[in-house]
Amino acid sequence: QLHLQESGPGLLKPSETLSLVCDVSGGSVNTPAYYWSWLRQFPGRGPEWIGYIYYSGSADYSRSLFGRAAISLDTSKNQVSLTMTSVTEADSAVYFCARQEIVGAGWFDPWGQGIRVTVSS
Amino acid sequence: LVLTQSPATLSLSPGESAALSCRASQNIDIYLAWYQQKPGQAPRLLIFDVSNRAPGLPARFRGSGSGTDFSLTISSLEPEDSAVYYCQQRGTFGGGTKLEIK
């Protein structure tokens, strides 16, 4: 059974770079069958898609992040990483990694448990 | 694409049925998924491509619709169905419906 687990610093200062890692077990990230995505969720809001990466290295990102996000794959460690530059307090949220279906509705399943990130001076 | 969910909150009793709505701002054919999220947990996939139940999901969860109007119907409500439910199509999520079972 596929399992995803996020890790990284829970507290950052404004203008710093956020770096999160998603450890994937029970399956390989090096597969043409799925995308690997990052999402975040603010309190009381629906999840917000940040972006995805494909095994080929191609990626797509939400335009709302204005180029601040980058997602990468480490197939040797079976990990998916998120980097987000120049964070502000508005980036404080719970961040999730998830496997994303390529076709149809592009649903997300499974999800990691999430990691809370707080940006504060 | 904007997904608008209604109602924002729904309060029902055990055994009753719940009808949750998701309206898309443009035609998305049958490409819609539904999730359940409980406090402190990640969203859990319930339904994909309108009406396909995730493995292990009871048949009392039923998705329907096409084009711009979609519904998630939960029959024979149980207390553990209390959660927030989201619809989703690719990178877009709805704002959620909070279902309370009292």
Per-residue tens of pLDDT for chain A, all 121 residues: 999 999 999 999 999 999 999 999 999 999 999 999 999 999 999 999 999 999 999 999 999 999 999 999 999 999 999 999 999 999 999 999 999 999 989 999 999 999 999 999 9
**Which among B42, B50, B94 is the nearest to A46, CB-wise?**
B94
Residue A117: Cβ within 10 Å count = 21
pLDDT for res A65: 93
B chain contacts of residue A45, beta-carbon cutoff 8 Å: 95-96
Q: CB-based contact (8 Å) between B49 and chain A?
A: yes
Distance from CA of B59 to the nearest CA of A (A): 19
**Which among B32, B54, B94 is the nearest to A109, CB-wise?**
B54
Q: For the segment B2-42, what is each residue's pLDDT rounded down to a tens digit? A: 999 999 999 999 999 999 999 999 999 999 999 999 999 99
**Which among B48, B94, B95 is the nearest to A105, CB-wise?**
B48
- Look at residue A89 and give its three-state secondary structure: helix
pLDDT for res A101: 96
Dmax of chain B from CA atoms? 36
pLDDT for res A99: 98
Q: Which of A60, A102, A107, A113 to mutate to test the interface with B (most CBs of B within 10 A)?
A: A107
- DSSP secondary structure letters along chain B: --EEEE-SEEEE-TT--EEEEEEESS--TT--EEEEE-TTS--EEEEETTTEEPTT--TTEEEEEETTEEEEEE-S--GGG-EEEEEEETTEE---EEEEE-
**What is the average pLDDT score of chain B?**
97
**Number of inter-chain CB pairs under 8 A, A vs B:** 61
With b meaning 16 or more CB within 10 Å and e meaning fewer, what string describes B25-64?
eeebebbbbbbbbeeeebbbbbbbbbbebbeebeeebbbe
- Look at residue A41 and give its three-state secondary structure: strand
